[in-house]
């Protein structure tokens, strides 16, 4: 990434929104916030946004947390992993100001920022950059700030073209020949454009503070703040054409992981300068190199440090400490740290959370992929992916079908069979 001159770095503050529930990730977010979900073997989702801030030369970051924030807070720590330490640099965790009831929690993206105006006041700035912590992408934020200033915009929204069949998931904008946003629709069912908001904004600080003071019932940027700004003031679309993916669904998370091992996909965390914080989990830090047995077969996969591979691994992403025993096969799957696949077991088109154990001869992901979606969560699992929750055990000789869920800590008894679409 070519970073623009850093004349903006001392008068720009970043607010990183990382408090969403992320319920569509199902069992993967039962014990962690969505931005803390492991990704690509070595990373967590939030690492991409934090690294973009770091690589853009920005100095002051507030991370707004809410839902199950402990693992996320441990991961960020002091911010040292991203160089956010020193007299002029820092990252601060900003939890909701919870009172006696849930009504004190953040009611939306704009409300989250409104509740942290004191952070903005404590860090005087010319602009505020607002990011989401659950996207996989690389962006020079300095170039966007420069665009914002050149256009003399009140608000700038990063936008990109997305397929028409996906546009209903986003805020959409219609622009004029100068790039000014003249109309806005939030998650339209019958879209008139394919230009989607990425949930990345640059505000003039004074403008943002005034907008948030206008009406406390306006709690969301996409639903309230941006549409009103378009009616009254200068809102511009910053065009973005590189790799970007919102990994808020199981299917999107799986596809983004597969993109890492797919040539020409456009994603390369190492080349992008993405950093993580392995010291936040001592069980992952300081792993020995991966070991490959003489009879193992590995193709098209990403294998992390500390793995021991004696079986077959095809088109899969393995996090640190994964063991694939002799005779076992892992295909088209994502395995989080310290999973064990015992001899002659099969893991096919599945996502296994941390410390899952698949017993000898067991099968995770069996049957035809076109079978019915998960009965309880048909919008979460419908393409054949099976989910196994954290520290669950799949007993020897047992079987999990397609689009199944095994809950965290669950036990599938030896020899037990679970049909496709079921949750146990």
**How far is it, in rounded angstroms, from Cα 17 to Cα 94?**
10
CATH no. for 9-260: 3.90.550.10
Residue 285 has pLDDT above 80, yes or no: no
Q: Where in the chain is the domain with CATH 2.160.10.10?
A: 286-418
**How far is it, in rounded angstroms, from Cα 218 to Cα 211?**
9
Q: Could you give the 3-state DSSP secondary structure of residue 11?
A: helix
For the stretch 178-213, pLDDT in tens is 999 999 888 888 888 889 999 999 999 999 999 998
**How far is it, in rounded angstroms, from Cα 19 to Cα 30?**
14
- Give the DSSP letter of residue 373: P
CA distances, 359 to each of 128, 298, 306, 412 (Å): 51, 21, 20, 10
**Overall pTM surpassing 0.85 (yes/no):** yes
Q: Where in the chain is the domain with CATH 3.90.550.10?
A: 9-260
Contact by Cβ (8 Å): 18, 72: yes
- What secondary structure does DSSP assign to 310-361, as a single string? SSEEES-EE-TT-EE-TT-EEES-EE-TT-EE-TT-EEESEEE-TT-EE-TT
For the stretch 237-263, pLDDT in tens is 999 999 999 898 999 999 999 999 999
**How far is it, in rounded angstroms, from Cα 352 to Cα 318?**
10
Among 28, 402, 372, CA closest to 417: 402
Residue 24 has pLDDT above 90, yes or no: no
> Could you tell me which CATH class the domain 286-418 is placed in?
mainly beta
Query: Which residues lie closer than 8 Å to 341 by C-beta, 6 or more apart?
Result: 311, 322, 323, 324, 325, 328, 330, 335, 347, 358
Contact by Cβ (8 Å): 116, 144: no
For the stretch 349-373, pLDDT in tens is 999 999 999 999 999 998 876 678 9
For the stretch 95-117, pLDDT in tens is 876 554 444 577 888 899 998 99
């Amino acid at each position: 990434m070519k970073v623009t001159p850093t004349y903006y770095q001392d008068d720009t503050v970043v607010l990183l929104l990382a408090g969403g529930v992320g319920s569509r990730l199902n069992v993967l977010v039962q014990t962690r916030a969505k931005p803390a979900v492991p990704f690509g073997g070595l990373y967590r989702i939030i690492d991409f946004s934090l690294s973009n801030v770091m690589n853009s030369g920005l100095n002051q970051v507030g991370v707004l947390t809410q839902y199950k924030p402990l693992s996320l807070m441990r991961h960020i720590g002091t911010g040292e992993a991203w160089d956010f330490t020193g007299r002029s640099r820092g990252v601060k965790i900003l939890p909701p100001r919870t009172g006696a009831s849930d009504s004190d929690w953040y009611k939306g993206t704009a409300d989250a920022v409104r509740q942290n105006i004191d952070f903005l006041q404590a860090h005087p700035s010319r602009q505020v950059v607002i990011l989401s912590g659950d996207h996989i992408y690389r962006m020079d934020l300095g170039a966007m700030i420069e665009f914002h200033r050149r256009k003399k915009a009140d608000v700038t929204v990063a936008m990109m073209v997305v397929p028409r069949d996906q546009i209903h998931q986003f805020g959409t904008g219609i622009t004029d020949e100068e790039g000014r946003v003249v109309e806005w629709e939030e998650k339209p069912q019958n879209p008139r454009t394919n230009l989607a908001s990425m949930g990345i904004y640059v505000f003039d600080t004074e403008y943002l503070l005034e907008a948030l003071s206008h009406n406390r019932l306006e709690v969301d940027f996409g639903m309230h703040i941006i549409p009103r700004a378009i009616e009254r003031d200068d809102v511009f679309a910053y065009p973005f054409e590189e790799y970007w993916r919102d990994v808020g669904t199981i299917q999107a998370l799986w596809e983004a992981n597969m993109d890492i091992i797919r040539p020409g996909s456009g994603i390369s965390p190492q080349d992008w300068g993405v950093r993580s914080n392995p010291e936040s989990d001592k069980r992952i830090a300081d792993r020995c190199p991966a070991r490959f047995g003489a009879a193992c077969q590995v193709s098209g996969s990403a294998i992390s440090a500390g793995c021991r591979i004696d079986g077959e691994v095809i088109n899969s992403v393995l996090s640190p400490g994964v063991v694939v025993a002799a005779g076992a096969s892992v295909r088209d799957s994502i395995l989080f740290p310290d999973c064990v696949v015992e001899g002659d077991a099969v893991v096919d088109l599945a996502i296994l959370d941390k410390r899952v154990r698949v017993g000898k001869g067991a099968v995770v992901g069996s049957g035809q992929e076109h079978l019915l979606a998960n009965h309880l969560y048909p919008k979460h699992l419908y393409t054949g992916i099976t989910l196994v929750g954290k520290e669950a055990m799949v007993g020897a000789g047992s079987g999990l079908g397609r689009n199944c869920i095994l809950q965290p800590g669950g036990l599938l008894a030896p020899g037990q069979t679970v049909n496709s679409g079921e949750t146990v």
